[in-house]
């Protein structure tokens, strides 16, 4: 009975409401055998939201909640989500949106116990169109059924599995942090006496914008080039900073643009790197603005091919412009090219480094009957629409890459990632729910075969911690503030310093920078709550042992998540 009451507590109700912006119409019903059916009226929730009062109906649940849970629930019930009905319609009618609605509909049933897919979608759109806007209570009022029935047994399984998964994730993060601290303790390097790579370098830079047009693919590609200024006197005294400069290409994530990594581009330019920051027209902020306004369709599967081809085209055009444009002439070194990408841009640079699309893995993981807590699979599985063939996406000009919050577990998989033969730095945030760190960065890190690999783990960082603050031009995704994470400034400083160290070491072959690529340096610059850890190695067996909590019995874990789906 104690366990039963725990599950009936408001913590579970709050979990449901937090995971989905609405759980009923006039009342919420859930059946828990053998105790029978339980109800909660929407009026009770509305009274609690508006006045903070707990009536008799709601008191059964409220008495089993902590004050903190009640406060969080009331905040959620009062929150208005600023989205338009067009945006909601576009998202929920997209392939990814429909897939998510179908999965949600298995948990939230109509009064006749049918999948709630259509009812949920309709209530979301109607609530967004209503004068009161999209709130939890208003969404409940728009649900086209007097009662919404929670598939309680399925809900308990999901909560249980999710709790286990989060616990496992925390164990992995804690274990890696412990190992990094142990390794850092063996270092005798005094970083306070060394140049601070978090600070800008000594060079000035100039920015030039090009509007390139790949006619063969009908892709217009704006690109900003940051080039160290040649008039700086240091260029004549330090051969390593003389033109032509090593070239770094930066690939943004979904719904972002060229401003996303301006801070990193300028920092690298101040250290003598030329940096090309492009926009991918099929998945940039402008495309999503058009999509949410109903003026364009959602990004399609071809974007998985077009993105790496965009960078190939940019490099080809820059090689041409370097010979003809006076501002670039003699300033770009195409023998020393690196690439940096975040999220879908992380996938992009991994393919340019040699990872191939793994259609076998996609077919295995994208079975519609499978469920997963890895939200990035909804995006990765779109690639299954591509004709299954060997796409040549690798670019031999690229000699080192940094992948920040990449998505790769299924679309590339172990067979794809293991084909990379150049240095890689993989960056993960422990609180990233869109590209979960264990599935998308930590385990894939074990698949990398080149010995020059680095895993950067930032505790409490989210999927958005590495990107610059949104501007009026690229603020298109309605991300709740709670998902943005702590102040991002420390993460910017980490990436600035580690990018310089990694590229100096592996692109310019300057061994004096290798000391910055140690766990002890990460510890030296780390700031709470965004604690920084760096590891140079992690085998599949070591990962399995951490994940399973015992000596591994097979070369790779078979239970990466509570459900039977591959991560």
User: Residue 378 has what pLDDT?
Assistant: 87
- What pTM was estimated for this model as a whole? 0.83
How do residues 33-88 score in pLDDT, each as one tens digit?
A: 666 777 888 888 888 988 889 888 888 878 878 888 888 888 888 888 878 888 78
Q: Distance (Å, rounded) from C-alpha 10 to C-alpha 28?
A: 13
Q: What local confidence, expressed as pLDDT, does residue 427 receive?
A: 98
Burial label, 244 (beta-carbon count in 10 A; 0-12, 13-18, 19+): middle
Q: What ranges make up the beta strands (E) of 99-195? A: 108-109, 147-150
The pLDDT, as a whole number, for residue 558 is: 36
Q: How much is the pLDDT for 10? A: 38
* pLDDT at site 281: 95
pLDDT, tens digit (0-9, with 9 covering 90-100), for 296-316: 877 899 999 999 999 999 999
What are the CA-CA distances from residue 81 to residues 76, 130, 171, 478, 520 (Å)? 10, 12, 34, 8, 43
Report residues of the chain scoring pLDDT below 70.
Answer: 1-25, 31-35, 231-241, 369-371, 472-474, 477-478, 550-567
Output the pLDDT for position 114: 87
**Domain layout of the chain by residue ranges:** 2-150, 175-548
Region of 460 please: left (phi>0), alpha (psi -120 to 50) or beta: left
Q: Superfamily assignment of 175-548 in CATH?
A: Alpha/Beta hydrolase fold, catalytic domain (3.40.50.1820)
């Amino acid at each position: 009975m104690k366990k039963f009451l725990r599950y009936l507590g408001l913590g579970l109700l709050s979990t449901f409401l937090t995971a989905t912006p609405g759980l009923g119409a006039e009342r919420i019903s859930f059946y828990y055998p053998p105790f029978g059916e339980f109800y909660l009226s929407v009026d009770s929730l509305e009274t609690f939201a508006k006045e903070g009062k707990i009536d008799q109906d709601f008191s059964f649940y409220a008495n089993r909640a902590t004050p903190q849970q009640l406060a969080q629930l009331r905040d959620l019930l009062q929150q208005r989500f600023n989205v338009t009905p067009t945006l909601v319609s576009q998202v929920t009618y997209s392939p990814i949106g429909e897939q998510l609605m179908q999965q949600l509909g298995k948990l939230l049933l109509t009064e006749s116990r049918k999948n709630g897919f259509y009812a949920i979608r309709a209530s979301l759109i109607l609530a967004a169109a209503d004068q009161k806007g999209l709130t939890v209570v208003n969404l409940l009022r728009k649900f086209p059924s007097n009662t919404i029935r929670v598939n309680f047994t399925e809900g308990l399984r999901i909560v249980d599995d999710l709790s286990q998964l989060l616990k496992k994730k925390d164990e992995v993060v804690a274990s890696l942090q412990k190992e990094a601290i142990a390794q850092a303790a063996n270092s005798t390097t005094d970083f306070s006496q060394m140049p601070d790579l978090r600070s800008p370098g000594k060079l000035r830079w100039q920015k030039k914008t090009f509007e390139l047009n790949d006619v063969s693919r009908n892709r217009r590609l704006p690109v900003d080039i940051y080039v160290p200024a040649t008039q700086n006197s240091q260029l004549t005294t330090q051969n390593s900073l003389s033109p032509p400069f090593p070239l770094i290409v930066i690939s943004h994530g979904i719904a972002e643009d060229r401003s996303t990594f301006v801070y990193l581009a300028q920092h690298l330019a101040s250290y003598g790197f030329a940096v090309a920051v492009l926009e991918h027209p099929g998945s940039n902020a402008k495309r999503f603005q058009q999509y949410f306004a109903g003026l364009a369709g959602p990004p399609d599967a071809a974007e998985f091919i077009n993105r790496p081809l965009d960078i190939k085209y940019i490099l080809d055009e820059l090689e041409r412009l370097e010979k003809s444009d006076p501002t670039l002439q003699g300033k770009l070194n195409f023998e020393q090219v690196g690439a940096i990408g975040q999220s879908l841009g992380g996938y992009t640079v991994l393919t340019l480094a040699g990872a191939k699309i793994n259609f076998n893995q996609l077919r295995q993981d994208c079975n519609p009957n499978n469920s997963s807590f890895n939200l990035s699979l909804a995006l990765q599985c779109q690639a299954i629409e591509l004709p299954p063939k060997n796409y040549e996406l690798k670019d031999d000009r690229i000699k080192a890459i940094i992948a920040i919050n990449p998505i790769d577990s299924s679309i590339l998989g172990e067979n794809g990632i293991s084909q990379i033969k150049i240095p890689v730095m993989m960056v993960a945030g422990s609180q990233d729910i869109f590209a979960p760190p264990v599935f998308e960065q930590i385990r894939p890190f074990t698949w990398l075969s080149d010995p020059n690999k680095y895993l950067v783990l930032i505790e409490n960082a989210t999927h958005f911690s590495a990107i610059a603050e949104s501007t009026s031009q690229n603020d298109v995704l309605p991300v709740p503030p709670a998902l943005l994470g702590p102040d991002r400034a420390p993460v910017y400083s980490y990436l600035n310093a580690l990018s310089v160290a990694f590229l100096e070491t592996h692109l310019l072959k300057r061994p004096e920078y290798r000391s910055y690529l140690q766990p002890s340096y990460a510890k030296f610059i780390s700031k709470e709550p965004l604690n920084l850890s760096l590891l140079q190695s992690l085998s599949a067996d070591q990962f399995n042992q951490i994940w399973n909590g015992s000596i591994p019995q097979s070369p790779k874990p078979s239970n990466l998540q509570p459900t039977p789906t591959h991560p």
